[in-house]
Structure 1
Amino acid sequence: MPTSKKEQIIFGLMMCTGMVVVMMFFNLWHSGLLGKMSPLEILLQFILCFVIAFLVESFIVGPVARKIAFSLPFDKSNKILGVLAMSFFMVIGMVLIMSLYGMISAYLANQLSGGSIFHTYLHTIARNFILALPYQLIILGPLVRYVFGKFIREKATVVVS
């Protein structure tokens, strides 16, 4: 949907904000930290997580997901298939990397319980993927595309006309 670099950044910021808010609160709740952290700590955690997620999405996962999604044999004129493929590979990449970020954060805060790090990582990936994919496909993706199309793309079209 974004056609220029500026639009890609705006779209990425919108998508990243929505994903980080929900996934961060979900993981804080799941680990029992939500009620133990102050609002300032939560805000700082959000800012750090958002910056990392945006950079990872912009420079690593986004380009790789785009390359994989559009190398698949499907009708490229079908926008819905393109969106689904892109969203699917974005979620996979972001869950893999951001789950690792979450585990590193938990380790640094002494919040990782004993057990296999590999097992914990796989469990974290599964838990995050189960929330992230439907949230992205059913709620956030359509919402961001609507808002982006209504307010960002429409504004750009009016300015150019």
Structure 2
Amino acid sequence: MIKCRQQKKEQLYFGLMMCSGMVVFMTFYNLYMHGLLETLSWRNILVQLILTFSIAFILESFIVGPIAKKIAFSLPYDKSKKLFVIVSVAFFMVCGMVLCMSLYGLGTAYLSNPLMSGSWLENYYSLVFQNFIFAFPLQLLIVGPIVRFLFQKFVKDKGVVKPDYY
């Protein structure tokens, strides 16, 4: 019972850390790509970060995360190799989060600028592609390793067991 609570607690910490890192990078990336970095105030950017983090964390915790892990662990590969598990889970997490968060981003873009050019579907696919090519390497090469290092240094040392997808 205690180990189960520790695992839930550590999954929460790991998810908060990973989601925070990805949201910060992806928000600034999208603001830059759409020319909004210079036009928004820091207060508006902070509100955007908080709102985006809230939505992303809920999606990651209750929808995308469980589905991504289920798919990743159902594939036939050697799960004793940590790198395979990390890449597999990261791939499906990024795919799910990019699909969902691009929909969120497009929705907020249409709300702030209802006269956007192009069809909704065309804009969505373009945004998904644009976000995926940034998010996947970001997750594998920057945010993932940093979060795993910080998690091991600050959470693991406090007696909390690593999550199965660590």
| Post-superposition offset of 1:156 | 1.8
Q: Are the aligned partners of 1:106 and 1:112 in contact in 2 as well (CA < 8 Å)?
A: no
Number of residue pairs matched by the alignment? 155
Distance 2:48 2:99 in 1: 19
Correspondence for 2:126 among 123, 126, 130: 123
* Structure 1 runs not aligned, ≥5 long: none
Q: Counterpart amino acid of 1:149?
A: Q
Q: Does 1:30 align with 2:25?
A: no
Q: Does 1:40 align with 2:43?
A: yes
CA-to-aligned-CA distance 1:80-110 (integer Å, 9 cap, x gap): 1011100000000000000000000101111
Segments ≥4 residues shifted beyond 4 Å: none
| Post-superposition offset of 1:76 | 1.3
Correspondence for 1:94 among 74, 97, 101: 97
Aligned CA distance change for structure 1 residues 39 and 111 (closer, same or farther; 3 Å)? farther
Distance 1:88 1:153 in 2: 24
Aligned CA distance change for structure 1 residues 112 and 6 (closer, same or farther; 3 Å)? farther
Residue 109 of structure 2: aligned partner: 106
SS at match of 2:51: helix
SS at match of 1:70: helix
Distance 1:44 1:103 in 2: 17
Q: Does 1:83 align with 2:80?
A: no
Cα root mean square deviation, aligned? 1.1
Distance 2:159 2:65 in 1: 23
Question: What TM-score, normalized by structure 1, do the two folds share?
Answer: 0.93
| Post-superposition offset of 1:115 | 1.1
Correspondence for 2:73 among 70, 75, 82: 70
Question: What TM-score, normalized by structure 2, do the two folds share?
Answer: 0.91
SS at match of 2:35: coil
* Structure 2 runs not aligned, ≥5 long: 1-5, 161-166
| Post-superposition offset of 1:43 | 0.4
Higher relative contact order (CA 8 A, sep 6+): 2
